[in-house]
Amino acid sequence: MIEAVIFDMDGVLIDSEAFWLAAEREVFGSLGIIVTEEHSSITSRMTTREVTQYWFDIQPWLERSLADVEHHVIMRVAEFVDLYGEIMPGVEQTLKYFKQEGYKIGLATNSPGILVSRILKKIGIEGYFSSILTADSVDIGKPDPQIYLKSASSLSVSPSKCLVFEDSQGGVMAAINAGMAVIAVSGKYSDTYGNFDQADRWISNLLDFCPEYIEIINRRFS
């Protein structure tokens, strides 16, 4: 039986992909790097530290430390969030439902902690989560299952009793490899449905979530 729900953040709670792309093009561009869509598709689900290392390995720079460049990207994303950040459709309704029904609620994201707290405050949902894990909480980000296993532990729930909401193939696989049920949230990128074959359900956004899905998943996991 599902006892806890764990949410990814970027693409599930806030549509921030464009913020990351703009920040990376600006910051890495200042170092002479051209951030192409092909490369962005590879780095889009990495942690910021992993993205910075990725570009450094391809085209090393001398004038700034990796930590400084990583921090610059994060701060630019934070500025974009402050200016343009909006909560995704259905988020508040879904969180309220799970809270009212007594489920434990966690957040597990590849984004850094300094940005996570800023985003949750911006969209007004910081009070819903009993556990918040970020890129700073683990040694390896998604698609490694570490963050989801640690999230289940922090919620004092078995991984097999957790339901995850994810919007990326890497995140879906991280949750599955942690032994959890997964609802894939495709957002506006509906053409990525084909990447979610192993998810228990697919929805376009949280407005499409139905409590009946929990009953279906409980039967499958029983």
110, 210: one domain: yes
pLDDT tens digits for range 186-198 = 875 444 444 688 8
76, 129: one domain: no
Active-site option among 8, 15, 167, 200: 8
187, 157: one domain: yes
93, 55: one domain: no
| Number of structural domains found in the chain | 2
Tokens standing for residue 203: 């929805």
101, 10: one domain: yes
Active-site annotation holds for 8: yes
Domain endpoint, select from 62, 84, 106: 84
Residue at token pair 């051209």:
34
Q: What angle do CA 91, 220, 162 make, to 5 degrees?
A: 45
DSSP 14: B
CATH number reported for the structural domain that contains residue 64 in this entry: 1.10.150.240
Report the range of poorest mean pLDDT among 3-7, 22-26, 149-153, 216-220. Answer: 216-220
Active-site option among 10, 15, 167, 200: 10
Q: Which domain holds residue 72?
A: 17-84
CATH number reported for the structural domain that contains residue 101 in this entry: 3.40.50.1000
Active-site annotation holds for 191: no
Contact 20, 77 (CB under 8 A): yes
pLDDT tens digits for range 56-84 = 999 999 989 999 999 999 999 999 999 99
Domain endpoint, select from 84, 105, 123: 84
What's the rounded Cα separation, in Å, for the pair 8 and 209?
15
106, 176: one domain: yes
Please give the average per-residue pLDDT across 17-32, as a whole number: 94
